[in-house]
Amino acid sequence: MQKIRRRLAMALCALAGCLVGGSALPQAAYPAKPVKLVVPYPPGGPTDIVARVIAQRLQTQTGQPFVIENLPGAGGNTGAAAVARAAPDGYTLLVATTAHAINPSLFKNLSYQFGRDFAPISQLTSGPLVVVVNPALPAKNMAELIALAKSKPGELNFASSGNGQSTHLAGELFNATAGTKIRHVPYKGSAPALTDTMGGQTQLMFDTMLSAMPHVKGGKLRALAVTSAQRSPAAPDLPTVAETVPGFEAIAWNGLLAPANTPREIIAKLSAELRTAMEQPEVRERFEAQGFAAAWNTPDAFAGFIQAEIDKWAKVVQVSGATIE
């Protein structure tokens, strides 16, 4: 009996040692079940399209479904708040946009903190907006637009897809850097904003290439410039705003984030899978067709990018005086 007790004690000690050393029963590989990608905007928009391209590719690579859930509302805050409250297990992720870097300084009462409540995984896309005007406007380029706006301070209007969106703050950044006073008119989405710009109720808009360029090709809008630092491969003949207003840059981006405290090994796994996904020619081609470029980066690099965006747009919000309760 004493020998049995000694052997049992030795076995228990060995088991305890395994548990302490982390070599107990093997953990299930991630992902072991469907992963939910929360898109905080309605179906069919640029962010939704990017998310579905990525979801399809990640499902192919991992063998697990990546399911899109659209949770629109409050300028992207409804979906972001839901992910911030989700379990940090890698099975609920947020497809974030430029607006999420703008919102911390624009909204007074957010239920989450963008810089604290999320773990960055990777940027997904980066792309310019395009400055489009009603064809009746007597401005054929950015220099002429600036001259016209300065000759009629407060008389020109620019439409946006909503308060706090990149289409809004890009216009405010333009006012600040070009010294113009073009008034902002917010809409509930890009489609009605473009409709009124084409109809002449507003004179211009800073919009995504995906939404605006079909109307440019149809002759209902005139494109003046793109807002990136370099010309866009999707419209190489269009100059940049910076060619007229040095230093101006406003890009639209998407990125993938997990709730804070998600295990680092899950973040690393997702980052690696995204890198593989965005190296695929078909993924790059689908992004480029919408005026976006694939933009993978490491979690640490993406965290730095997000903070720089938060700081940049906070200054624009302060100068514009914009605020939302």
Specify the CATH number for the domain of residue 70: 3.40.190.150
pLDDT (average), residues 278-291: 90
Residue 89 in domain: yes
Q: Are 228 and 251 spatial neighbours (Cβ–Cβ below 8 Å)?
A: yes
For position 222, which CATH number holds? 3.40.190.10
Label residue 291 by pLDDT band (50, 70, 90): confident
Q: What is the mean pLDDT of the chain?
A: 89
**Confidence category of residue 322, pLDDT binned at 50, 70, 90:** confident
pLDDT of residue 27: 53
Domain count, the chain: 2
Query: Measured between alpha carbons, how far is 94 from 121 in angstroms, rounded to an integer?
Result: 10
10 Å CB burial of residue 37 (0-12, 13-18, 19+) is: buried
Q: Taking a C-beta distance cutoff of 8 angstroms, is the pair 118, 81 a contact?
A: no
Cα angle value 140/291/213 (rounded, 5°): 40
Residue 13 has pLDDT above 50, yes or no: no
Predicted confidence band at 21 (pLDDT cuts at 50, 70, 90)? very low
Same domain for 134 and 192, yes or no, is yes
Nearest CA to 120 out of 282, 310, 289 is that of 310
**Residue in 142, 96, 59, 130 with CA at minimum distance from that of residue 309:** 96
138 and 97, same structural domain? no
Residues 6+ apart with CB under 8 A from 5: none
- Same-domain check for residues 232 and 290: no
| Residue 138 and residue 212 in one domain | yes
Q: Could you give the C-alpha distances from 66 to 57, 58, 104, 269, in angstroms and in order?
A: 9, 7, 28, 14
For residue 16, what pLDDT band results from cuts at 50, 70 and 90? very low
- The residue whose two tokens read 């300084």 is 105
pLDDT at 52: 95
- Judge if the upstream peptide bond of residue 31 is cis by omega within 30 degrees of 0: yes
pLDDT tens, residue by residue, 195-221: 999 999 999 999 988 889 989 999 999
Q: Is residue 117 part of a domain?
A: yes
Q: pLDDT digit string (tens) for 155-179?
A: 999 999 888 888 999 999 999 999 9
Does 202 lie in the same domain as 101?
no
Position 294 in a domain: yes
208 and 148 assigned to the same domain: yes
Q: Is the pLDDT of residue 26 over 90?
A: no
pLDDT band at 289 (very low <50, low <70, confident <90, very high): confident
Q: Are residues 151 and 291 in the same domain?
A: no
Q: Do the bridges between strand 92-97 and strand 35-39 make them parallel or antiparallel, or are there none, so unpaired?
A: parallel
What does the pLDDT read at residue 5? 54
Question: Which of 214, 243, 272 delimits the end of a domain?
Answer: 243
**Residue at which a domain ends, from 219, 243, 267:** 243
- Do 138 and 231 belong to one domain? yes
pLDDT band at 60 (very low <50, low <70, confident <90, very high): very high
CA–CA dist 278, 293 (Å, integer): 10
Residues 120-147, mean pLDDT to the nearest whole number = 96
Residue 7: predicted pLDDT: 56
Q: Is residue 26 part of a domain?
A: no
Asked, for residue 107, whether it belongs to a domain, the answer is yes
Mean pLDDT across the stretch 232-237?
89
Cα 181 to Cα 232: distance, rounded to the nearest angstrom:
27
| Closest among 294, 97, 152, 127 to 206, alpha carbons compared | 127
Strands in 234-317 per DSSP E: 251-259, 293-294
* Predicted pLDDT of residue 243: 97
Mean pLDDT of 49-78: 95
Give me the domain span that covers residue 271: 35-127+251-320
Claim to verify: residue 206 and residue 283 sit in the same structural domain: no
Pair (122, 136) in one structural domain: no
23: pLDDT confidence band, cut at 50, 70 and 90?
very low
How far apart CA 250 and CA 128 sit, in angstroms, is: 7
Q: What is the pLDDT of residue 22?
A: 40
CA distances to 153, 248, 294, 318, 323 from 95, rounded to whole Å, are 38, 26, 14, 26, 24
pLDDT at 17 over 90: no
pLDDT band at 304 (very low <50, low <70, confident <90, very high): very high
Q: Is residue 253 predicted with pLDDT exceeding 60?
A: yes
Question: Could you say which of 213, 243, 273 is where a domain stops?
Answer: 243
User: Is 117 in the same domain as 186?
Assistant: no
- Looking up tokens 């965006």, which residue turns up? 309
Binning pLDDT at 50, 70 and 90, where does residue 147 land?
very high
Beta bridge partners of 31: none
209 and 291 in contact (C-beta within 8 Å)? yes
In a domain, 140, yes or no: yes
Position 16 in a domain: no
CA dist 173 to 249, 260, 284, 318, Å?
A: 9, 31, 29, 11
**pLDDT given for residue 20 in this prediction:** 42
* Secondary structure (H, E, C), 196-231: HHHHCCCCEEEEEHHHHHHHHHCCCCEEEEECCCCC
Model pTM score: 0.82
In this structure, the answer to whether residues 231 and 262 fall within a common structural domain is no
Residue 292 is assigned to a structural domain of this protein: yes
